[in-house]
Amino acid sequence: MCMGLSWAHVLGDAFSASNFINMWGQIISGNKPPKCLHVANPGKSKFPPSTRKKATSIKRVDPQGDSWKTPSNCKLETYYFQVHEKQLHHMVTKICAREYQAAIVSHFDVLSAVIWKCVCDIREEKGPSTVTICSNKKPNWENEFPSNGMVISIVEADLSGVKDDLWQVVKLIAEKRVGENSLIEEMVENENGEVDYIVCGANLTLLNLEEAKVYGLEINGHRPIFANYVINGVGDEGAVLVLPGPINGKGEGGCGNGLMVTVVLPESQILLLKRRLEKDWNIV
């Protein structure tokens, strides 16, 4: 059986979509939903807010009306690949030469650094020197009202001088993010909500979905064999989604069998990225 869920992003982030479908599975399996829900504590972002007047993580687009897909200026292609546990271990140990380095960063940070550097090399002098990172303050809620906990931040760096030392890029992604949520909210409010913006693809956008419970759906004792996200309406700069992979193909989640990666880039860049990943990291 194949099952899909279409989720308009304005209603909530990808974590809310996963939590929604997992709760739906419990209800149709005969489990009663919680009688009362409490309001989630949003918490504070660990990244400092931007001191700029305008957010650079969003891009203004022509009015879209009821259409949720923004037209792009080039043909985009989607590339899916799995990074197995052994490949992840090799990648981390090669990039994070010292044990303490591996302990302070995530697999998402390492994968993002690899892909960012690859895209920079492919585009040559065109960058990207700025990437947007989307993460979540509280990935999974239980017995709480759904809320959009997406944290949008940016990292800026010129990677043209970076050769083999990817640790410096990993460290930038892990430690040098600047939050833009407040700026985005202020810009939208100033326009009275009448102007359309995009986030994904305004810059190269890296979405950390490592902790999303994409394998949490259970119906009559059965869990998904494979689960993934597809994203539409991405801007020309592209997007990268990093999700948990199934454990030994049994759909138990938890990254036990590595990570699933979805890359959306201009068609001409996808083939070059595939070649780089296969050559440098044996990822196909």
Q: Is the pLDDT assigned to residue 233 strictly greater than 90?
A: no
Cα–Cα dist 255/85, whole Å: 8
Tell me the CA end-to-end span of the chain in Å, nearest whole number: 27
Least confident range of 8-22, 50-64, 106-120, 218-232: 8-22
The pTM for the full model equals 0.89
Domains (range + CATH), the chain: 9-281 (3.30.559.10)
Share of the chain above pLDDT 90, in %: 44
- Condensed to tens digits (0 to 9), the pLDDT of residues 180-198 reads 999 998 998 888 878 888 8
CA 136 to chain centre: 10
What is the rounded CA–CA span in Å between residue 124 and residue 118?
10
**Cα separation of 196 and 97, whole Å?**
44
Distance, in Å, from the CA atom of 122 to the CA atom of 135, rounded to the nearest integer, reads 26
DSSP SS3 for 37: coil
C-alpha–C-alpha distance, residues 89 and 101, integer Å: 13
pLDDT of residue 81: 95
The model's confidence at residue 103, banded by pLDDT at 50, 70 and 90, is confident
Adjacent-strand bridge partners of 154: 132, 178
Q: Would you say residue 256 has pLDDT above 90?
A: no
Quickly list H helices, 55-197. Answer: 85-95, 99-103, 107-123, 167-175, 181-190
* Burial group, residue 149, by CB count within 10 angstroms (0-12, 13-18, 19+): buried
Cβ-contact 111, 259 below 8 angstroms: yes
Q: At what angle do helices 107-123 and 85-95 cross, to 10 degrees?
A: 70
Residue 109: is its pLDDT beyond 90? yes
pLDDT in tens, 17-70: 888 888 899 888 888 877 776 666 666 667 777 778 889 999 988 887 776 677
